[in-house]
């Protein structure tokens, strides 16, 4: 599921900010960006996120800001400065020119001094980073929960359509054997065979067809799957994978009914049901 969350935490010296963005993906995939100086904290950050998210592509970006008055320091390379002074003296001795070198002269030479950011030890900011990530995760989950509520309503409406179509299938199922009996009688008459429908051979043929076309078990299993769908809708746990499995099972039962029943209205109801089920499967991929 998609979502975004930002969080921060600070102490007198450091402020940690975290941004989490999530997009749809069947498996959990976490990408973490941390300042190089605290890269050792990546496992801790990953653990926090994986405990709160079960599916999706999560991008996490964590930044640190030094709030102390002196966040940078000037570093002077003393050895290199001494080499410059020695070089100036040697040049003065060999050429006879003035070799006096001032400190200002040295500072203008490349490499003598450089500005560095004040370093940070991971243990000094670990708690701040964990808090910032946890706050961002809570906001991300809140956005996903809101999206999930709308998604659940849409899935419930589609389940109701399937339920209605299966109810019509159940009512039409009673006509299947009767229509087959009528069709068999018509074909026998066309072939000039004057057989009574109570003839043992005819009854046996009708019984075999009734057994092969019986869809009672499939309808019962579909009812059970729909009940499980609604059970998961009411759950606070991640349900994406169980719902994906139920979609596969519903599709299996619908295919079986379609192959068993030689009935136009049943065939149309199955087509309608599979259309709704395909939309459900697409949406289920976005659910944790």
φ, ψ at 115 (rounded to 5°): -100, 130
Q: Do 198 and 280 belong to one domain?
A: yes
Q: Do 14 and 86 belong to one domain?
A: no
φ, ψ at 116 (rounded to 5°): -125, 145
Q: Do 132 and 168 belong to one domain?
A: no
Res 182: pLDDT: 57
Q: Do 192 and 275 belong to one domain?
A: yes
> Which residues neighbour 215 within 8 Å (Cβ) at sequence distance 6 or greater?
169, 173, 256, 257, 260, 261
Q: Do 64 and 83 belong to one domain?
A: no
Q: Do 61 and 178 belong to one domain?
A: no
Query: Which of 139, 169, 189 lies at the terminal end of a domain, its last residue?
Result: 139
Domain count across the chain: 3
Residues in the chain: 288
Could you read off the pLDDT of 155-183 as tens digits, one per residue?
899 999 999 998 888 877 776 656 655 56
CATH code for the domain in which residue 170 is found: 1.20.120
- 56 by DSSP, 3-state: which? strand
Q: Do 100 and 86 belong to one domain?
A: yes
Res 193: pLDDT: 52
Over the chain (288 residues), what is each successive 10-residue block's mean pLDDT? 86 90 82 89 93 86 80 74 85 80 78 68 90 93 80 88 89 66 57 59 59 74 91 78 89 87 82 92 75
Could you read off the pLDDT of 29-64 as tens digits, one per residue?
899 999 888 889 999 999 999 988 877 889 999 998
Q: Which long-range contacts (CB under 8 A, 24 or more apart) does 257-264 make?
A: 257/169, 257/215, 257/218, 257/219, 260/212, 260/213, 260/214, 260/215, 260/218, 261/169, 261/172, 261/173, 261/176, 261/213, 261/215, 262/176, 262/180, 262/213, 263/172, 263/173, 263/175, 263/176, 263/179
Res 12: pLDDT: 86
Structural domain containing residue 134: 3-68+124-139
Q: Do 148 and 50 belong to one domain?
A: no
Q: Do 147 and 249 belong to one domain?
A: yes
Q: Do 183 and 276 belong to one domain?
A: yes
Q: Do 274 and 182 belong to one domain?
A: yes
Q: Do 64 and 163 belong to one domain?
A: no
CATH code for the domain in which residue 16 is found: 3.30.230.40
Do residues 32 and 62 touch, judged by C-beta distance below 8 A? yes
Within the chain, what is the greatest distance between any pair of CA atoms?
137
């Amino acid at each position: 599921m998609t979502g975004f969350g930002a969080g921060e935490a600070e102490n007198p010296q450091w402020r940690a900010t975290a941004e989490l963005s999530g997009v749809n993906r069947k498996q959990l995939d976490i990408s973490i960006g941390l300042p190089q100086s605290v890269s050792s904290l990546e496992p801790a950050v990953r653990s926090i996120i994986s405990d709160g998210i079960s599916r999706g592509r999560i991008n996490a970006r964590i930044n640190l800001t030094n709030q102390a008055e002196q966040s940078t320091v000037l570093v002077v390379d003393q050895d290199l400065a001494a080499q410059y002074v020695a070089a100036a003296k040697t040049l003065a001795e060999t050429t006879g020119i003035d070799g006096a070198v001032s400190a200002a002269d040295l500072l203008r030479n490349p490499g003598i001094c450089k500005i560095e950011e004040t370093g940070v030890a991971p243990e000094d900011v670990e708690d701040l980073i964990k808090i910032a990530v946890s706050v961002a995760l809570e906001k991300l989950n809140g956005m996903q929960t809101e999206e999930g509520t709308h998604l659940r309503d849409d899935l419930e409406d589609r389940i109701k359509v399937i339920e209605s179509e299966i109810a019509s299938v159940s009512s039409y199922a009673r006509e299947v054997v009767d229509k087959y009996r009528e069709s068999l009688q018509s074909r026998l008459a066309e072939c000039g065979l004057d057989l009574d429908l109570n003839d043992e051979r005819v009854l046996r043929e009708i019984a075999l067809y009734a057994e092969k076309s019986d869809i009672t078990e499939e309808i019962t299993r579909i009812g059970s799957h729909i009940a499980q769908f609604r059970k998961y809708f009411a759950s606070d746990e991640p349900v994406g994978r169980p719902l994906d499995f139920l979609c596969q099972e519903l599709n299996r039962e619908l295919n079986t009914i379609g192959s068993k029943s030689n009935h136009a209205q049943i065939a149309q109801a199955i087509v309608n049901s599979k259309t709704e089920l395909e939309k459900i499967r697409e949406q289920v991929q976005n659910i944790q």
